[in-house]
Structures are given as structure tokens and as C-alpha cells.
């Protein structure tokens, strides 16, 4: 049986950090170019505007607030905690024709699915960072329940949140989405292949081994109550992060009450650290990667959440353009530096 993976020697890695180098993403097999020090270059490009400081607790013009009418004409209930509804402009539909067209270089196929909106809170003026742990726990339960329900019909269930206009959020009301489809997306397929290979070689889950190797290391942001928050060794975005359970779990529904309570605290902590980093609401896209349904053995998969924030400085975002689009991702500060800055960000 192969030995358990160990964290790379921090001293040797530090000497490499001063030079351009590449790091391999163990989950996908892809590579990222690390070019530390480029944050010092002058910036004369676009800057992100300051987000509005104040929002009302209830906005009569918001189509997600309780009791308001949406564009579809449907009226939201007077919900008091969370609220889930089918997206009025869904990117996937359950009635798509089951068709396959072409062959060779020209192939297309119909795909079925559904898209739902999850309102985290009835309050318009709050985010997960400002919600208490009990309220966040209710969101965790919704993610888990929705995943189980949709997984009975679809192969892949993707729960995610786009936070902030910089990440394409069309409405500031605290909400996320859940898309479910009958196809296994590219990212999920890559992660499934990597985790399956690792399990076949070791008998263990890749991310359980990875979390064990990272604990106590320079990329860890928080390690508490069975949940590890860290900047991945292979992070592409400046302050990218992952949340991973220390013990095995393939999906959110596998978590008992104690682990869900602890997850709510981990989510609250990371959201608050992000906001504290630059003293402003921090935009990001985040999402849960859970074991696919009807696709191999779920025991090879470890539940995890990805956070992809675009900001490099308080008002400067990282653009994935040029070399990043045409070659591979490139980052301007090391994951170790990013984790240190997030550890130092106060959550009070």
C-alpha cells in the first residue's frame, strides 16, 4: 500500500517561491503558473467600484424579497428563513429533446435539467458573513435536501453562489443557485477521474489524504471541529480557498447535525475573513462539489467547496485573460502569502 502523501518541505518550497514556477492541481491534473511579486507592478487599468454601503432590509423593487412579484408574475411567499423556487430564466429544462446530432468533429446533444434559486434570508441587506450560525445552518440543510431530491433524477447537482456584481450576481439579495443536469460537466469529470485513480491506488480518498497532509501547514486558514479551510497548493485565483471535511463524506447529506453545525461556523468564518481582508464586501463564486449520482462509487469522492474570488487588491481584480486563456492559469502571489493574509484578517 502506498504511503500517505506528505506536505512538501516548506523550506524548499520557500526558495522556489521567489522564482516563477508551476504547481499541479491534484484534483484536475491541470497546472498553474506562480509568478510571485507581480502584485508590485503599477496598475492603470480598470478598478472595481466601491459597493453600496447601505441597503434596506426590505426592497420593494427586489424580485427576491418576501411578498414581491417576480418578472414571471409569480409572487414570493412571506418567507421567514430560506426560500427555494425554480429559476424564471433557467439555463436547463427538464423537457429538452433527447437528441444527438453529428459525429466526429461536429457533435451536439440535448441535455435535461433544472435550475433553482435559493434565497438564504428574507433580509435584503445581509450576506452569509452577516448571518448567524443557525441561519447559515439552515442554508446547509437546504443544500443537502435539494441535492438529495435532485440527485434522484439527475447525475450532477451543483449548488453555488455568485456574490457581488463583480462575479455576475444580478441581484444583491443574499441568494445562490442549484443547477442539476443529466450530463457530467467537464470539471466534475476531471475530479472524478483523479479521485477514482487515487482511491484505486491507495484505498483512500484523495482529499482526505490532502487535508491530512496540509494540516498545520502554511496554507491553512482555519482548522476547527473537523473542517479545514485552506488556500489550495494549486490555487489559481489570488485568494482562492477550499473547505474540506477532515473525515469522509461524499455529499452534504452524509453530514450529521454536529458536522453541519461546524460547517456553518466554517462558512461564517471564511465569509467574514474575506470581507475583512480589504474592508469591503468581497465578491466571489463558490460552490459545492459532491459525488455524482449513478456515476461510479461515491466512496471515492470527498465533499468539498471551492471559493473563487477575483480581487487581487481592494479595487483591482485579477483578470484571467491572455496567457491564462490561451495557456494556463497564472497567479501573482503565492498561496502561502494569500493564506497568511486571510489568517490575519480579523473576523470580529
C-alpha cell of residue 304: 468539498
Q: Are strands 83-86 and 113-119 parallel, antiparallel or unpaired?
A: antiparallel
Question: Is there a contact between 246 and 211 (Cβ–Cβ < 8 Å)?
Answer: yes
Contacts of range 315-323, beta carbons closer than 8 Å, 24 or more positions apart: 315/47, 315/48, 315/49, 315/50, 316/43, 316/45, 316/47, 316/48, 317/46, 317/48, 317/166, 318/237, 318/238, 320/236, 323/33
Residue labelled with grid coordinates 455576475: 168
- Measured between alpha carbons, how far is 157 from 160 in angstroms, rounded to an integer? 10
Nearest to 156 by CA among 182, 134, 176, 178: 182
- Enumerate the active-site residues: 175
Torsion sign over Cα 147, 150, 156, 159: negative
C-alpha cell of residue 171: 441581484
Amino acid at each position: 500500500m502506498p504511503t500517505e502523501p506528505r506536505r512538501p518541505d516548506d523550506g524548499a518550497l520557500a526558495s522556489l517561491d521567489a522564482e516563477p514556477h508551476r504547481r499541479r492541481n491534484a484534483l484536475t491534473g491541470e497546472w498553474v503558473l506562480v509568478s510571485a511579486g507581480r502584485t508590485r507592478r503599477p496598475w492603470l487599468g480598470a478598478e472595481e467600484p466601491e459597493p453600496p454601503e447601505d441597503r434596506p432590509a426590505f426592497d420593494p423593487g427586489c424580485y427576491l424579497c418576501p411578498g414581491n412579484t417576480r418578472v414571471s408574475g409569480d409572487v414570493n411567499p412571506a418567507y421567514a428563513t430560506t426560500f427555494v423556487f425554480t429559476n424564471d430564466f433557467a439555463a436547463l429544462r427538464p423537457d429538452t429533446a433527447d437528441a444527438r446530432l453529428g459525429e466526429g468533429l461536429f457533435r451536439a446533444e440535448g441535455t435535461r435539467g433544472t435550475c433553482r434559486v435559493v434565497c438564504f434570508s428574507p433580509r435584503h441587506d445581509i450576506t452569509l458573513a452577516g448571518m448567524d450560525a443557525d441561519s447559515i445552518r439552515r442554508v446547509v440543510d437546504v443544500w443537502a435536501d435539494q441535492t438529495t431530491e435532485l440527485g434522484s433524477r439527475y447525475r450532477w447537482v451543483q449548488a453555488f453562489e455568485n456574490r457581488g456584481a463583480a462575479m455576475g450576481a444580478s441581484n444583491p439579495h443574499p441568494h445562490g443557485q442549484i443547477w442539476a443536469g443529466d450530463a457530467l460537466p467537464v470539471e466534475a469529470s476531471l475530479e472524478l477521474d483523479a479521485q477514482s485513480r487515487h482511491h484505486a491506488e491507495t484505498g483512500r480518498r484523495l482529499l482526505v489524504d490532502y487535508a491530512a497532509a496540509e494540516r498545520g501547514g502554511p496554507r491553512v486558514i482555519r482548522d476547527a471541529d473537523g473542517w479545514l479551510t485552506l488556500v489550495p497548493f494549486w490555487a489559481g485565483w489570488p485568494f482562492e480557498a477550499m473547505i474540506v471535511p477532515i473525515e469522509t463524506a461524499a455529499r452534504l447529506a452524509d453530514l450529521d447535525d454536529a458536522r453541519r453545525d461546524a460547517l456553518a461556523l466554517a462558512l461564517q468564518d471564511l465569509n467574514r475573513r474575506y470581507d475583512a481582508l480589504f474592508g469591503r464586501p468581497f465578491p466571489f463564486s463558490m460552490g459545492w462539489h459532491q459525488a455524482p449520482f449513478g456515476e461510479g462509487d461515491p466512496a471515492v469522492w470527498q465533499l468539498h467547496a471551492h471559493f473563487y474570488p477575483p480581487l487581487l487588491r481592494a479595487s483591482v481584480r485579477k483578470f484571467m485573460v491572455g496567457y491564462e486563456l490561451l495557456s494556463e492559469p497564472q497567479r501573482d502571489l503565492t498561496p502561502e502569502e494569500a493564506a497568511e493574509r486571510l489568517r490575519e484578517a480579523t473576523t470580529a
